[in-house]
Structure 1
Amino acid sequence: MSTDARELSAAEKIKDESRFLRGNIGEELQQDSASFGKESIALLKFHGTYQQDDRDIRIERKKAGLDKAFSCMVRCRIPGGRMTAEQLVAQLDLCDELGNATLKITTRQTLQLHGILKSDLRETIHRINKINLSTLAACGDVNRNIMCCPAKRVGTVHEELQRLSQELTVALAPQTRGYHELWVTDLETGEKTLEGGGPPTKEEEPLYGPRYLPRKFKIGIALPEDNCIDIYTQDLGFLAVVREGKVIGYNVSVGGGMGMTPSAAKTFPALAQRMAFARPEQVVDVAKAVIGVQRDFGNREDRKVARMKYLIADWGIEKFRSKVEEYFGEALADCTEDDVHGFDDHMGWQEQGDGLWSYGLNVENGRLYDNDQVQLKAAFRAIAAELNPAIRLTSHQSIIFCDIQPEQKDRLLEIIRAHGVRLSEDTSNVRRWSMACVGLPTCGLSVTESERIMPKFMDQLEGPLAKLGMSHEKFTVRMTGCPNGCARPYNADLALVGQTKGKYRVFAGGALLGTRLNYQYKEKVAEADVPSELIAVFAAFKANRQDNETMGDFCARVGRDELERMAEEAPKP
């Protein structure tokens, strides 16, 4: 049955009638109301922004007869997390002048602003474009920010990966003129372009078409020895195959995705499957072929099962590969034996190979802020002004300062310390390898706390881990306020996922390398009981691990029931 013959979801109809993402956004931007209508909210995602409200004061405002405290989250598109110090400072300016005074490093190596009022939205996105960044396709049913190992290294391998992330970003970007009309042109020239200037031609979106994709789409590029971008959680992954210091091609994986709805058995998290090998010159067209298959065969009736992982689960990897080859125009080679076997979070000092250094600074949960104890924003402003480093953002919500001269190393650390910021070397492993989504109060999907409570949990875990002699252990602890999985919880060693108000599902048995899904260990764990539940798992691991076994490997080996028994019996610190 053709897509046109089926009943489209409401979201598909909105896209279909949007005039290539224009909709009524222009008209609504000129209105005095504090919020957008339903259709514009859906389309604004493609432009890089979500409408949200402050859920902490919903009840208070409702009692006072007031509407919700609406604002927008604005997310940038920053391929591979690469940006300049000047761009970072400009983003800090925006969060101070138009946002809620904080800036968030995301789990996809980009930045997002919170608290942007509707009346300031056009100025915000316009200013982002003025610093040669963009918000186009940072959200929405298109290819989103492309992840790539951010490490700065001399040599062709890292340069090739980072070049590819930029090439793919350009090749897979939506072509609609609507974005420029809404956010760029009118502010620069004063032209009256907000109404869209008439219906565009269908040729405006040669890759996506007028309905774009059935659901969001994510791409990552990694190295076998360094899966720092979690390649198997991506819809489409390119794992570099290197021979004699040269990238000869990529093992292509397809069908990753973290989101699920526990009440709907038809939904599930999935790791990508290895599909085929592509030579460097084939990669862009292979990506377009994969997107084309998802565009034409992905589910447009039910958004819960619209991600590409569900199409692959339905078809099987062989049928999917065959269809990709049909769209590509020729058969592809099989994957090589190369696969993920390492993970570097790039924290601390690392040599670049050109006589310069990079310093990775752990930023807890990616939140940049200033208060009486810690001044992260002020520290970054000072570093930018004095040292002007290249900036790289990591998939663990942290930052790398690049191109540091040997004689500047001490000065960089002095600036960081002077602003009350903890160095990566002074950060515990459990905190360093943890991350959390935004959660409450702004995310409309969150049912529990996430980012705001994760530091408290870390405080409560560090002491017991030290008493167990396990401070040196490396394992991931990830937390999300809902099952949508923005912090990639379902392949973590341990994870906390919001289930209902104040209660979490606990997952165990993933892997630091990101190559294995975990399982649900417990459910409806009260917020106050989370630390003790995790400490019991640590104690069970300490008492029952095999030689050189990791936390995730141990949990996967023993399974849920045995882990629960061991956790009850193990002596607690």
Structure 2
Amino acid sequence: MSDTKSPYIVEGKLADNERLKAESRHLRGTIEQDLKDPLTGGFTADNFQLIRFHGMYQQDDRDIRAERTKQKLEPLHNVMLRARLPGGVCNPEQWLAIDKFADEYTMYGSIRLTTRQTFQFHGVLKPNIKLMHQTLNSVGIDSIATAGDVNRNVLCTSNPVESEVHQQAYDWATKISEHLLPKTRAYAEIWLNGEKVETTDQEPILGDTYLPRKFKTTVVIPPQNDVDVHANDLNFVAIAENGKLVGFNVLVGGGLAMTHGDKTTFPRKADDFGFIPLEHTLAVAEAVVTTQRDWGNRVNRKNAKTKYTLERVGVDNFRAEVEKRAGVTFAESKPYEFTSRGDRIGWVEGIDGKFHLTLFIENGRILDYPGKTLKTGCREIAKIHKGDFRMTANQNLIVAG
């Protein structure tokens, strides 16, 4: 990390989450012991928080909560898993594996598409959690860092109409996601029965206590703003010339969340730092993340996101630090325009002459309903489809060529 005596460090008693991360042995905690405990269906103490870094949230079935309390039973603990799918792209083989697991091992049988451009399983009981991770791993999917104080699933404009630029932008979304991932082997050790190697984990980008708060990154292709640049910490706005991606305008510090009645919290639009050519993309992404890592508020989590850091230290100071760390100078932003943020439902012809079908998925929930066998229909498409599926930030599904 940078000099901890920086005037931009917030002094004071650290939030308890900082203790939790520092003591977690790089996100291991005692999760493995909890998995072996037959007396509870849940995770205890710190592990309740730590499993978020592995892509899961502990929940319970609230519909039967009162009844179980009457019976002197603990709540019916289960987990929700959010997968890591940069840009929301998955192939038919992956879709079929997702569909099968949802059918056989979740309480609700559904696949839930989310505004983070990925899918979630809901209602997975503790005995099936390892199987869930191993099933996803068998088809090249994981859930590393889709929750917790890390860089979350990287979004990318999913409309394939401008397919050549989209493919290039998607490739960068994948590179950014991989570059900013935690380097700890905890995920592989715990869920995939990975070999426990006696080494000291290093987290050169995220640091040993990871980020002060969750961090969200997007790659967006104008004129579509489906991923919503002003709701995210770090945004790469694709700039194309003659149909080729040449670089990105970088927008930092967006976020719409606020706490009602707390005037220290507020929504904030992202600031435009300027233009960078493609070769500086990963260096700039890393520099923004490490600056937020070092300057972000670790005392008050309600003010820990990047938008509050920029507001506190000043946009110019934050930008200058990013330039210093990345070894680049932002050029003047290139012109671009956003004209829409919704999905184009139905058939759309791409510039390659192929047609793509965008399906409206109400509330992102893929399940069979009376007279509308949505989940079965998607499964049957996956059995014959030669292209891919693209989940959108509006919780819809594109069957793409």
Normalising by the smaller structure, the TM-score range is over 0.9
In 1, Cα distance between equivalents of 2:400 and 2:345: 12
Corresponding residue of 1:151: 159
Corresponding residue of 1:201: 200
Residue identity matched to 1:110: T
Residue identity matched to 2:395: Q
Judge conservation of contact 1:239–1:339 (CA < 8 Å) in 2: no
Is 1:300 matched with 2:306? no
Judge conservation of contact 1:20–1:176 (CA < 8 Å) in 2: yes
* Cα 1:337–1:152 shift into 2, 3 Å: closer
Q: Give the length in aligned residue pairs.
A: 393
Pairing partner for 2:34 from 6, 24, 28: 28
Corresponding residue of 1:498: none
In 1, Cα distance between equivalents of 2:170 and 2:144: 20
Runs of 4+ in 1 over 4 A off after TM superposition: 1-5
* Cα 1:10–1:178 shift into 2, 3 Å: same
Is 1:13 matched with 2:19? yes
Judge conservation of contact 1:267–1:305 (CA < 8 Å) in 2: yes
Q: TM-score, normalised by structure 1?
A: 0.66
SS in 1 for 2:369: coil
The CA deviation string for residues 392-438 of structure 1, in whole angstroms up to 9 with x for no partner, is 111110101112xxxxxxxxxxxxxxxxxxxxxxxxxxxxxxxxxxx
In 1, Cα distance between equivalents of 2:272 and 2:66: 48
Residue identity matched to 1:329: G
Corresponding residue of 2:178: 170
In 2, Cα distance between equivalents of 1:371 and 1:176: 42
The CA deviation string for residues 466-516 of structure 1, in whole angstroms up to 9 with x for no partner, is xxxxxxxxxxxxxxxxxxxxxxxxxxxxxxxxxxxxxxxxxxxxxxxxxxx
Query: Which residues of 2 match residues 181-220 of structure 1 at below 5 A?
Result: 181-186=189-194, 193=196, 200-202=199-201, 204-220=202-218
The CA deviation string for residues 244-265 of structure 1, in whole angstroms up to 9 with x for no partner, is 2222211110111222211322
In 2, Cα distance between equivalents of 1:306 and 1:4: 10
The CA deviation string for residues 499-557 of structure 1, in whole angstroms up to 9 with x for no partner, is xxxxxxxxxxxxxxxxxxxxxxxxxxxxxxxxxxxxxxxxxxxxxxxxxxxxxxxxxxx
Q: TM-score, normalised by structure 2?
A: 0.94
Query: Which residues of 2 match residues 381-460 of structure 1 at below 5 A?
Result: 381-403=379-401
In 2, Cα distance between equivalents of 1:4 and 1:118: 39
SS in 2 for 1:253: strand
Q: CA deviation at 1:143?
A: 0.7
Q: CA deviation at 1:385?
A: 1.7
Pairing partner for 1:61 from 68, 71, 75: 68
In 2, Cα distance between equivalents of 1:393 and 1:28: 33
Query: Which residues of 2 match residues 456-495 of structure 1 at below 5 A?
Result: none
Q: Percent identity?
A: 37
Q: CA deviation at 1:161?
A: 0.5
Is 1:136 matched with 2:134? no
The CA deviation string for residues 195-230 of structure 1, in whole angstroms up to 9 with x for no partner, is xx65x425x211111100001011111122111211
Q: CA deviation at 1:344?
A: 4.9
Pairing partner for 2:370 from 369, 372, 395: 372
Residue identity matched to 2:112: K
In 2, Cα distance between equivalents of 1:256 and 1:343: 16
* Cα 1:155–1:396 shift into 2, 3 Å: closer
SS in 1 for 2:348: strand
> Between Structure 1 and Structure 2, whose CA radius of gyration is higher?
1
Corresponding residue of 1:278: 276
* Cα 1:219–1:329 shift into 2, 3 Å: same
Corresponding residue of 2:349: 351
The CA deviation string for residues 440-462 of structure 1, in whole angstroms up to 9 with x for no partner, is xxxxxxxxxxxxxxxxxxxxxxx
Pairing partner for 2:98 from 91, 109, 117: 91
Residue identity matched to 1:277: F
Q: CA deviation at 1:159?
A: 1.7
Is 1:106 matched with 2:114? yes
* Cα 1:272–1:401 shift into 2, 3 Å: same
Corresponding residue of 2:54: 47
* Cα 1:152–1:332 shift into 2, 3 Å: same
SS in 2 for 1:270: coil
The CA deviation string for residues 101-136 of structure 1, in whole angstroms up to 9 with x for no partner, is 111000011000000011211111111111101100
Judge conservation of contact 1:220–1:234 (CA < 8 Å) in 2: yes
Q: CA deviation at 1:155?
A: 5.3
Is 1:119 matched with 2:117? no
Residue identity matched to 1:45: R
Pairing partner for 1:360 from 353, 358, 361: 358
Judge conservation of contact 2:296–2:309 (CA < 8 Å) in 1: yes
Corresponding residue of 2:249: 251
Corresponding residue of 1:490: none
RMSD: 1.8
Corresponding residue of 1:538: none
In 2, Cα distance between equivalents of 1:225 and 1:128: 34
Q: CA deviation at 1:290?
A: 0.2
In 1, Cα distance between equivalents of 2:61 and 2:245: 47
Residue identity matched to 2:28: R
Pairing partner for 1:233 from 231, 234, 239: 231
- Consecutive unaligned residues in structure 1, runs of 5 or more: 404-573
Q: CA deviation at 1:320?
A: 1.3
Residue identity matched to 1:201: T
